[in-house]
């Protein structure tokens, strides 16, 4: 195993080490941060890099946190992200974080309490490495993964559904030719297992360790699946192998065929989590949006006014940035909740042609997000139109 990937490849290690030095060199002339941090897959030593014809193909991104108390460097970080992506030929993103982000939760400059125990906080603490400056990561308190809210697994699955639909053409093929056509399928299958591990209290920041834990716990915990979990266990094993060392041979099936055979399985996992974690019983996609929003309203009532006001300000900021002002901009819930209420219906419809009622329910639940065109005359056209619409809303109101 290498320093940054699961490959035992000294040449690749030296290449990535050189990239990290270059990233630090690019930041320092314009500022003096408290620290520069590598997080994500490469930060935990599990970056996805394929080898073909003697060439390296990077599937994972370089996720860089730049720690400083000043928020005035965002324009610089956007420019450097574009510059370094082009220069290194690896997708590179620089993100601003405060040096106290592992301890304090903030709304603007105001501390609102301790940092929430979520997946991002846990993986930043235990799956990152400092490239420059103060190693406040290892000095901070450990984050107990058992304290992560189990419903965060549902949000993880919803985000993977959105990403896969956004990178999928009408036939289930990939639109991003820089990555293997099964890249987003792989991430969605991983999200199924990760959400279940989270619900079992066994989540871990390492992909390899998650693979081992899932294999050990699958027997006896997947009885809710029609086949007792055999398909998911096999797919999660394959997905873990592919994540650690990408190899197209792991997926000999066409991407569209994989989606068609696996969306019903993903539906079963999502429905199980909806019942167990959100109390949505009986489970039904046509009634899911209404019940989901009821649950989120119950959660909203527990928030303080400051949090509520901040969420609305964030909706307004995102709407102004996108030049899109939806009917639900000043509704009780934030707009991301309306996206998450509609999104799984559209994803579900991709796995079946018997989905006219589900698509109608999806269209109805999307009304707070904006005016839609009239329904398309054919199911496949309506499905693809709603797929494009919901993923656009997701990118505006949920992404980043």
Domain ranges (residues) in the chain: 10-147, 150-267, 284-400
How would you write the chain as a 3-class SS string? CCCCECCCCHHHHHHHHHHHHHHHHHHHHHCCCCEEEEEHHHHCCCECEEEECCEEEECCCEEEEEECCCCCCHHHHHHHHHHHHHHHCCCEEEEEECCCCCCEEEECCEEEEECCCCHHHHHHHHCCEEEEECCHHHHCCCCCHHHCCCCHHHHHHHHHHHHHHHCECCCCCECCCCCCCCHHHHHHHHHHHHHHHHHCCCCCCCHHHHHHHHHHHCCCCCCCCCCCCHHHHHHHHHHHHHHHCCCHHHCCCCHHHHHHHHHHHHHHHHHHHHHHHHCCCCCCCCCHHHHHHHHHHHHHCCCCHHHHHHHHHHHHHHHHHHCCCCHHHHCCCCHHHHHHHHHHHHHHHCCCCCCHHHHHHHHHHCHHHCCCCCCCCCHHHHHHHHHHHHHHHHHHHCCC
140-169 per-position pLDDT tens digit = 999 999 999 999 999 999 999 999 999 877
Mean pLDDT rounded to a whole number for the chain:
92
Averaged pLDDT for residues 284-296: 93
Q: pLDDT value at position 308?
A: 78
β-strand partners of 218: none
**pTM recorded for the entire structure:** 0.93
8-67 per-position pLDDT tens digit = 999 999 999 999 999 999 999 999 999 999 999 999 999 999 998 889 999 999 999 999
Q: pLDDT value at position 176?
A: 60
The pLDDT of residue 307 is above 80: no
The answer for residues whose C-beta is within 8 angstroms of residue 396's C-beta and 6 or more apart is 318, 319, 321, 322, 324
Please, which pLDDT band fits residue 170 given cuts at 50, 70 and 90? low
Lowest mean pLDDT among 140-144, 180-184, 217-221, 299-303: 299-303
Q: pLDDT value at position 309?
A: 81
Q: pLDDT value at position 211?
A: 98
β-strand pairing of 110-114 with 55-58:
unpaired
Averaged pLDDT for residues 175-193: 82
β-strand pairing of 110-114 with 104-107:
antiparallel
Q: How many CB atoms lie within 10 A of CB 397?
A: 23
**Lookup: tokens for 64:** 């860089």
Cα distance between residue 134 and residue 191, in whole Å: 33
Contact 225, 234 (CB under 8 A): no
Percentage of the chain modeled with pLDDT above 70: 95
Q: pLDDT value at position 400?
A: 65
Averaged pLDDT for residues 308-330: 91
Q: pLDDT value at position 113?
A: 78
Query: Alpha carbon of 81 to those of 36, 40, 93, 257: distances in Å?
Result: 14, 16, 5, 35
The pLDDT of residue 301 is above 80: no
Q: pLDDT value at position 179?
A: 63
Averaged pLDDT for residues 174-193: 81
Give 308 or 45, the one with higher predicted confidence.
45
């Amino acid at each position: 195993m290498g320093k940054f990937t699961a490959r035992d490849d000294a040449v690749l290690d030296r290449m990535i080490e050189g990239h990290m030095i270059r990233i630090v060199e690019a930041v320092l002339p314009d500022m003096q941060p408290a620290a520069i941090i590598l997080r994500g897959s490469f930060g935990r030593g599990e970056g996805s890099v394929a080898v073909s014809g003697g060439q390296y193909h990077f599937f994972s991104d370089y996720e860089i946190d730049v720690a400083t108390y000043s928020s005035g460097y965002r324009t610089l970080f956007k420019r450097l992200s574009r510059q370094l992506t082009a220069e290194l030929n690896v997708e590179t993103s620089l993100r601003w974080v405060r040096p106290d982000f592992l301890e304090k939760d903030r709304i603007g400059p105001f501390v609102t309490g301790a940092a929430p125990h979520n997946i991002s906080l846990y993986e930043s603490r235990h799956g990152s490495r400092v490239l420059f400056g103060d190693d406040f990561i290892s000095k901070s308190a450990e984050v107990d993964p058992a304290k992560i809210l189990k419903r965060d697994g549902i949000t993880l699955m919803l985000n993977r559904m959105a990403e896969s639909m956004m990178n999928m053409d009408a036939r289930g093929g990939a639109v991003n030719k820089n990555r293997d056509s099964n890249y987003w399928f792989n991430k969605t299958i991983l999200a199924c297992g990760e959400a279940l591990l989270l619900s079992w209290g066994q989540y871990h920041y390492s992909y390899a360790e998650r693979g081992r834990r899932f294999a050990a716990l699958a027997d006896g915990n997947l009885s809710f699946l029609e086949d007792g979990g055999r398909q998911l266990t096999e797919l999660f094993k394959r997905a873990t192998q592919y994540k650690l060392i990408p190899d197209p041979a792991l997926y000999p099936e066409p991407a569209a065929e994989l989606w068609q055979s696996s969306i019903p399985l993903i539906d079963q996992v999502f429905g199980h989590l909806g019942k167990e974690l959100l109390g949505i019983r009986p489970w039904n996609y046509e009634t899911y949006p209404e019940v989901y929003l009821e649950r989120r309203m119950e959660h909203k009532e527990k928030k303080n006014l400051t949090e509520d006001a901040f969420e609305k300000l964030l909706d307004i900021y995102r709407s102004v940035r996108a030049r899109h002002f939806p009917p639900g901009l000043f509704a009780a819930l934030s707009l991301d909740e309306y996206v998450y209420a509609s999104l799984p219906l559209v994803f579900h419809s991709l796995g079946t042609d018997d989905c006219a009622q589900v698509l109608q329910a999806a269209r109805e639940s999307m009304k707070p997000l904006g005016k839609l065109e009239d329904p398309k005359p054919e199911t496949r056209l309506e499905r693809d139109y709603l797929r494009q619409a919901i993923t656009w809303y997701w990118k505006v109101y949920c992404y980043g």
